[in-house]
Amino acid sequence: MILRRTLLIASTAVAAAASMATMTAAARARGTATATATTPLHLAPARDQIAALRRRTTTSRALLEQYLQHIDRTNPGLNAVITLDADAARAAADAADRHLARTGKPLGALHGLPVTVKDALETKGLRSTCGAPDLTDHVPDRDADAVARLRAAGAVIVGKTNVPVMCQDLQTSNPLFGTTKNPYDATKTAGGSSGGPAAAVASGISSLELGSDLAGSLRLPAAYCGVYALRPSGGIVPTRGHIPRPPGWLSSSDMLTLGPIARTPDDLDVALDVLAAPAPAEAAAWRIELPAPRRRRLADYRVGLWQDDPYCHVDETIRRLLDEVAGILRSAGASVDDTTRPVQLAESDRLFQRLMFATASATATDAGFADDVAAADRIPADDPSGLFLHSRTMRHRDWLRANEDREKLRGHWADYFTDHDVLITPAVPSTCVDDQTSTPVPSRFITVDGQKRPYFDQTAWLNLAGHVRLPAVVMPAGRTTDGLPLAIQIIGPYLADRTVIDMAKHLARKLPEPAQPPAFTA
Residues with a known catalytic role: 118, 193, 217
**Between 396-419 and 345-359, two packed helices, what is the crossing angle to 10 degrees?**
140
Burial class (CB in 10 A: 0-12, 13-18, 19+), 122: buried
Instruction: For 161-227, give the DSSP string.
Output: E--SGGG-SSS-EETTTEEPBPSS-TTBB--SSSHHHHHHHHTTS-SEEEEEESSSTTHHHHHHHT-
Q: How many CB atoms lie within 10 A of CB 12?
A: 7
**Between 60-78 and 86-103, two packed helices, what is the crossing angle to 10 degrees?**
160
Query: Rounded distance, CA 86 to CA 159, Å?
Result: 8
3-state secondary structure 37-86: CCCEHHHCCHHHHHHHHHHCCCCHHHHHHHHHHHHHHHHHHHCCEEEECH
- CA angle (49, 161, 433) in 5-degree steps: 105
- How far, in Å, are 111, 274, 276 from residue 107 at the CA level? 5, 13, 18
Dihedrals phi, psi of 463, to nearest 5 degrees: -65, -15
Query: Rounded distance, CA 492 to CA 469, Å?
Result: 10
Whether the CB-CB separation of 239 and 81 falls below 8 Å is answered with no
